[in-house]
């Protein structure tokens, strides 16, 4: 695979809109200036995932994950930096210019990328078999036509065919240069137990590719066209590095936009059920591929909607299937409804025989709340006059209600069941409370078991760890600590002060603060970064926390790179805008002015507004230029730190100055930045005094010369501390440690 050239990378970064990118995976709602949704990286019920369109970044305030559009795609789709860029290029129709990778770079391509490449090849091969071969047209396409599949749906779901002759896919894949081990790992090929040879897993089957939310193929399902009961109807991809069945929902890639638009997800069982519903015009449909719903699948759905309708066959098996996973759905605060189709119908046949409006009307008129559905169906199976069977059915219903955490909703379910079962509410509530308590007890037991498993695993790892490995770890730790300035200072103590400086660099690094004198005596305008960089250099200080040091190194390249030339070009644009705006305002003032004096007064006010516009436009360019470069850096540490410091749940409050005037943090950079440098210096001095004092206490009493030397050093450090105290004032506000 080739590497994308820098010019194309910049075009991709400029085009990528964080709201558009995240919206492909998460349902977002506007919240003030930002957007919010359920975090796609961990299980949550209350939205804590924030998307900032202005800064083009996102962040979860619970788990901390997020970043730029590139970072989001890398994290969500488990892609490399180059893969994420390619994904965004496809999304925004940007042609990629590439250079060939070196042999060493080729070797560094991940196993995951190799498996995805194998699946991409197989998908194209299966589609070709279906549309461009005699067997595909005469056998597979004829079967799909018999099942009522249109060309549009075949293309939309990328259906294919595996030819039932020899090992046709294996030969084609080998000819294309794909390794046998990757063909086996994806499940496309199976090794024979008899002679160890490989054979195509899906021979003679219709192929249903399984896509991730971003459209990448991670697995396949294959359906036989034979009626032989000795042959499995469906064969699916095995678990692999890229495919985990519990995480995937068939059709979600094609349905995600409709689910968000309609604020509802309809769940069916099989591949054909999904495709037929889409063909009928009902596109917010997905399938769990014949398995019970999992927590992971439910969480994916919850990111797009809170409303789920389960559609299953009307026979007994279909009804029981509809009851699986209910507790998980209710625990995720989903609004769950169930639809029973007419006898003899499944979603596939029902959609084939009805129009979209008829299907939607039937759903709207016949879907039932899950608890009402359970109550109706379970009680229908209870023999008359059998109190034990009735009690068992009621307990099953209450066990599901026990998973509802919302008090109002739980009470509504109890009231509903009380009416339907003709049982007093207080009786149901007493039994319900028993199940709720049991649920929490079971959760605590499972948590303790998991903790015990992790502890045992930790002990095992420690036992299995070679002695030389432990020594190596200690050596690495010592090496890291050696990066600390001066003596053996406490990096954890200094980190929050370093973070504050890096925060100013990330947020305001290229903004002008005041003029500064160079070593040659020249007076030059200084940015926030210049002041911080010079302050650290004056003390010969290097950041002790390596990701912070990486950010400063990256910013140095930005500061001394193309910024000044890009800024000059931007200034020309701003000046042109200012001239145009001023001319328009003058024309408006002269047209509506009541007198020459009135016109002159209004023109002065207009000039003031234009100057304000010019200043704000320049500051915005300077501020966003550095931010965009950092959050899109190829360095993972730089992206992570920058994104984290750009989106914070709690930003610094506005600063009250004399006369109760309120100024923003940006307005106070002239004061705040030098202060932050001095606060770091003060922390270093305090740490040095602690170390020297400890050293003096532990010194042998007969070593008077060394004691005198330490005391002299202490006197110097304390004098410096005193001077810093005067600069900082009596109160030093300590920044919170976040890393």
Calculate mean pLDDT across residues 288-295. 76
What architecture is domain 111-243? Alpha-Beta Complex (3.90)
Question: How would residue 319 be classed by pLDDT, with cut points 50, 70 and 90?
Answer: low
Residue-wise pLDDT tens digits, 559-618:
888 888 888 888 988 998 899 888 888 888 888 877 888 888 888 898 999 998 888 889
Query: What per-residue confidence (pLDDT) applies to 472?
Result: 40
- The span from the first CA to the last CA of the chain, in angstroms, equals 36
- Residue 313 pLDDT more than 80? no
With a CB cutoff of 8 Å and minimum separation 6, the contacts of 570 are 618, 621
| Highest mean pLDDT of the ranges 72-86, 455-469, 509-523 | 72-86
Which H or E element spans position 369? Answer: strand 368-369
User: Model pTM?
Assistant: 0.60
Q: Report how far residue 573's alpha carbon sits from residue 536's, in angstroms, rounded to the nearest whole number.
A: 35
pLDDT band at 321 (very low <50, low <70, confident <90, very high): low
pLDDT band at 324 (very low <50, low <70, confident <90, very high): low
Task: Dump pLDDT digits (tens) for 460-481.
Answer: 454 454 444 444 443 333 333 3
Going by DSSP bridges, is the β-strand pair 335-340/523-527 parallel, antiparallel, or unpaired? unpaired
Task: Name the most confidently modeled range: 9-13, 407-411, 444-448, 727-731.
Answer: 407-411
pLDDT at 494 over 80: yes
111-243: same fold as 3-107?
A: no
pLDDT at 81: 84
CA dist 235 and 205 (Å) reads: 9
44, 167, 168, 177, 238 from 163: Cα distances, Å: 45, 8, 7, 20, 20
Q: What sign for the dihedral angle of Cα 694, 695, 696, 702?
A: positive
Look at residue 133 and tell me whether its pLDDT is greater than 90: yes
Spatial distance between the Cα atoms of 183 and 202, rounded to a whole number of angstroms: 13
Do residues 321 and 270 make contact, with C-beta atoms less than 8 angstroms apart? Answer: no
Distances (CA, A) of 339 to 317, 362, 369, 488: 14, 9, 9, 68
How far is Cα 146 from Cα 165, in angstroms, rounded to an integer?
23
Better-predicted residue by pLDDT, 374 or 466: 374
Given the DSSP bridges, would you call strands 307-312 and 335-340 parallel, antiparallel or unpaired?
A: parallel
* Cα-Cα-Cα-Cα dihedral sign, residues 592, 597, 603, 609: negative
Give residue 415's pLDDT.
92
Q: Which of 403, 380, 394, 404 is nearest to 428 (CA)?
A: 394
Arithmetic mean of pLDDT, 154-177: 93
- Pick the more confident residue, 500 or 461: 500
**Residue 356 class from Cβ within 10 Å (0-12 exposed, 13-18 middle, 19+ buried)?**
middle
Higher pLDDT, 640 or 97: 640
Q: Are 618 and 574 in contact (CB under 8 A)?
A: yes
Tell me, rounded to whole angstroms, the distance of Cα 430 from its chain centroid. 42
pLDDT in tens, 226-281: 888 888 889 999 999 889 888 899 999 999 888 888 889 999 988 999 999 999 99
Query: Alpha helix (H) ranges present in 303-346?
Result: 316-323, 326-331
73 touches 88 (CB < 8 A) = yes
Query: Which helix (H) or strand (E) segment is 513 a member of?
Result: strand 512-517
High-pLDDT (> 70) share of the chain, %: 84
Per-residue model confidence as pLDDT tens digits over 683-733: 888 888 888 888 888 777 677 778 888 888 888 878 777 777 776 664 344
Residue bearing the bigger pLDDT, 435 or 291: 435
Tell me the three state secondary structure of residue 200: strand
pLDDT at residue 655 in the model? 44
Total residue count of the chain as it appears in this document: 739
pLDDT digits (tens, 9 = 90+) for 618-636: 988 888 888 888 888 888 8
Would you say residue 399 has pLDDT above 60? yes
β-partners of residue 523 are 517
Question: Nearest-CA neighbor of 34 among 13, 15, 10, 59?
Answer: 59
Q: What are phi and psi of 39, to 5 degrees?
A: -65, 130
Q: Is 722 helix (H, G, I), strand (E, B) or coil?
A: helix
**CA nearest 205: which of 221, 223, 219, 230?**
223
CATH of domain 3-107: 3.90.580.10
For residue 736, is pLDDT > 60? Answer: no
Banded pLDDT at 124 (limits 50, 70, 90):
very high
Tens digit of pLDDT for each residue in 192-220? 888 889 999 999 999 999 998 878 899 99
Q: Are 359 and 285 in contact (CB under 8 A)?
A: no
> What pLDDT band is residue 2 in, cutting at 50, 70 and 90?
low
CA distance 702 to 589: 88
**CA dist list (Å): 132 to 128, 135, 145, 188, 680:** 5, 9, 16, 21, 70
**pLDDT surpassing 60 at residue 33:** yes
- Above 80 in pLDDT, residue 341? yes
Could you tell me if 623 and 511 are in contact, meaning their C-beta atoms sit under 8 angstroms apart?
yes
* Region 70-99 average pLDDT: 84
Instruction: Quick: pLDDT tens for 658-670.
Output: 444 445 677 788 8
38 close to 47: Cβ distance less than 8 angstroms:
yes
- Residue 507 sits at the vertex; the CA angle it makes with 501 and 508, to the nearest 5 degrees, is 85
User: What phi and psi, each to the nearest 5 degrees, are found at residue 29?
Assistant: -125, 140
Q: Which contiguous run of DSSP H or E holds residue 57?
A: strand 57-60
The residues near 11 (Cβ < 8 Å, ≥ 6 apart) are: 94
The pLDDT of residue 171 is above 90: yes
Q: How far, in Å, CA of 647 to CA of 160, rounded?
A: 45
Helix axes 636-646, 546-559, angle to 10 degrees: 90
Mean pLDDT of 304-317: 73
Domain ranges of the chain: 3-107, 111-243, 483-560+624-739
> What pLDDT is attached to residue 99?
58
């Amino acid at each position: 695979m080739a590497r994308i050239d820098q010019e194309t990378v910049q075009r991709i970064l400029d085009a990528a809109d964080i709201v558009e990118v995240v919206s492909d995976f998460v349902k977002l709602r506007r919240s003030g200036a930002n957007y919010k949704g359920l975090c796609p990286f961990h299980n949550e019920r209350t939205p804590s995932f924030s998307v900032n369109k202005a800064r083009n970044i996102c962040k979860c305030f619970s788990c901390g994950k997020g970043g730029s559009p590139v970072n989001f795609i890398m994290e969500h789709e488990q892609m490399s930096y180059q893969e994420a860029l390619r994904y965004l290029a496809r999304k925004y129709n940007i042609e990629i210019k590439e250079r060939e990778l070196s042999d060493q770079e080729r070797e560094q391509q991940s196993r995951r990328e190799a498996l995805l490449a194998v699946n991409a090849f197989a998908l194209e091969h299966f589609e070709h078999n279906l549309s461009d071969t005699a067997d595909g047209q005469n056998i597979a396409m004829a079967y799909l036509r018999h099942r009522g599949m249109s060309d549009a749906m075949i293309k939309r779901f990328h259906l294919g065919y595996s030819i039932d002759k020899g090992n046709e896919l294996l030969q084609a894949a080998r000819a294309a240069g794909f390794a046998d081990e990757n063909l086996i790992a994806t499940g496309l090929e199976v090794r024979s137990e008899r002679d160890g040879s490989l054979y195509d897993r899906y021979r003679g089957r219709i192929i249903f590719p399984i896509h991730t939310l971003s459209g990448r193929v991670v697995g396949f399902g294959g359906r036989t066209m034979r009626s032989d009961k000795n042959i499995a109807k469906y064969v699916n991809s095995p678990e692999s590095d890229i495919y985990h069945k519990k995480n995937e929902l068939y059709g979600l890639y094609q349905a995600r936009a409709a689910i968000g638009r309609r604020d509802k997800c309809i769940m069916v069982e099989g591949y054909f059920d999904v495709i037929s519903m889409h063909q009928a015009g009902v596109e917010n449909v997905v399938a769990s591929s014949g398995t019970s719903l999992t927590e992971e699948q439910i969480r994916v759905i919850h990111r797009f909607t809170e409303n789920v309708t389960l559609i299953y066959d009307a026979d007994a098996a279909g009804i029981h299937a509809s009851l699986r996973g209910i507790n998980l759905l209710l625990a995720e605060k989903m609004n769950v409804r169930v639809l029973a189709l007419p006898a003899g119908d499944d979603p596939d046949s029902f959609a084939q025989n009805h129009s979209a409006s008829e299907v939607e009307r039937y759903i709207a008129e016949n879907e039932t709340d899950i608890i009402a559905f359970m109550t109706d169906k379970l009680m229908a199976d209870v023999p008359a006059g059998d109190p034990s069977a009735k009690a068992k059915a009621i307990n099953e219903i209450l066990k599901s209600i026990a998973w509802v955490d919302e008090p109002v909703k739980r009470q509504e379910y109890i009231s509903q069941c009380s009416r339907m079962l003709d049982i007093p509410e207080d009786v149901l509530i007493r039994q319900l409370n028993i199940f709720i308590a049991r649920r929490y007890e079971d959760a605590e037991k499972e948590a303790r078991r998991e903790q015990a498993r992790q502890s045992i695993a930790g002990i095992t790892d420690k036992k299995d760890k070679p002695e030389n490995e432990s020594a190596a770890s200690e050596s690495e730790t010592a090496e890291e600590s050696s990066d600390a300035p001066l003596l053996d200072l406490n990096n954890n103590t200094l980190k929050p002060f370093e973070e504050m400086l890096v925060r100013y660099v990330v947020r305001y690094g290229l903004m002008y603060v005041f003029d500064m004198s160079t070593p040659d005596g020249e007076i030059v305008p200084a940015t926030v970064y210049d002041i911080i960089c010079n302050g650290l250099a004056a003390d010969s200080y290097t950041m002790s926390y390596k990701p912070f040091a990486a950010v400063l190194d990256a910013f140095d390249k930005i500061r001394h790179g193309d910024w000044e030339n890009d800024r000059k070009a931007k200034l020309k644009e701003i000046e042109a805008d200012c001239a145009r705006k001023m001319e328009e305002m003058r024309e408006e003032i002269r047209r509506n002015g009541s007198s020459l004096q009135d016109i002159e007064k209004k023109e002065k006010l207009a000039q003031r507004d234009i100057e304000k516009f010019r200043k704000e436009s320049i500051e915005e360019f300077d501020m966003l230029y550095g931010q965009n470069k950092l959050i899109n850096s190829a360095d993972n540490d730089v992206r992570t730190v920058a994104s984290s410091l750009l989106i914070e749940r709690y930003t610094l409050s506005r600063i009250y100055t004399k006369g109760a005037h309120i100024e923003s943090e940006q307005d106070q950079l002239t004061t705040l930045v030098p202060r932050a440098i001095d606060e770091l210096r003060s922390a270093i001095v305090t740490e040095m005094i602690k170390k020297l004092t400890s050293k003096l206490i532990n010194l042998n009493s007969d070593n008077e010369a060394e004691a005198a030397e330490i005391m002299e050093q202490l006197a110097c450090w304390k004098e410096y501390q005193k001077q810093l105290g005067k600069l900082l004032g009596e109160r030093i506000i300590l920044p919170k440690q976040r890393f």
